[in-house]
Amino acid sequence: MVFLTIVTYGRRPILTTENGRKFLRSAITTVRKKRPFSLFATCLLPDHWHLIMHLPKGDKDYSMRVKRIKEEFTCQWRLAGLPEDQVTAAQSAKGERGIWQPRAWEHMVRDEEDLERCVDYIHWNPRKHDLVRRVQDWPWSSFHRFVRMGQYEQEWGGTAPKSIRNTDQWGE
C-alpha cells in the first residue's frame, strides 16, 4: 500500500466543488477499469487529496494510476470550460496544465503500525486545516466507512491522535 498526497496547482480550492468531486469520482472509475486498485482510506480537501492506494498483488505501478487520474480529471475539467491557472512556458512545453501540481508526495506503508498512523492522519486532516470542529462533520472522507466497520468511534478526533503528533511529513 502507498500513502499519497496529491495537490492542486497553486493550491486552488477546486476538489470539493460539485464539479471537482464529480470529475475525480469519474476519473477514478475510468482508471480502475484498466488498472484496478482500491482506496483503503481517503480524504478529499479543497486543494489536496490524501489517499492510501491498495494495488493488486505483484503490481506496484501506483504512479501510472495517479498520472491517469490527474489526466482524466483535467480533461473533464477543460471540457466543462472551467478555468485553470497559468503555467510557466517550461511547464507548458512539457504538456503540464494549471490544474495539478506535477508530482505527488508518496510514502510506502511499512507495517500495520505505519498504516494506522497514515489512516489516522488522513482522517484527522480536515480538523488539522480547521475545516470542521469534529472529524465526523467532514463529508468527503473514508472516516465514515471506518466508523461503520467499528475501527473508530463516531466522536474520534476530538484531539490530534497520538500516532500523528509531532510529525509533519505528509506532503502538504
For the chain, list the domains and their CATH numbers. 2-164 (3.30.70.1290)
Average pLDDT of the segment spanning 3-12: 96
Cα(57)–Cα(54) distance, integer angstroms: 9
Burial of 55 (0-12, 13-18, 19+ CB in 10 A): middle
For the full predicted model, state whether its pTM sits above 0.85. Answer: yes
Cα(14)–Cα(100) distance, integer angstroms: 10
Using only C-alpha atoms, the chain has a radius of gyration, in whole angstroms, of: 16
Question: pLDDT tens across 15-40, in order?
Answer: 999 999 999 999 999 999 999 999 99
Question: pLDDT tens across 87-135, in order?
Answer: 888 888 888 889 999 889 999 999 999 999 999 999 999 999 999 999 9
Cell digits of residue 157: 478526533
pLDDT score, position 7: 97
Per-chain mean pLDDT for the chain: 93
Cell digits of residue 121: 492522519
Strand ranges inside 17-96, DSSP E: 38-44, 48-54
Q: Nearest CA to 77 among 19, 6, 18, 9?
A: 19
- Classified as helix, coil or strand, 40 is strand
Neighbouring C-alpha atoms within 13 Å toward the C-beta of 42 = 14
pLDDT score, position 70: 97
pLDDT score, position 168: 61
- Confidence band (pLDDT; 50, 70, 90) for 161? confident
pLDDT score, position 165: 67
pLDDT score, position 110: 94
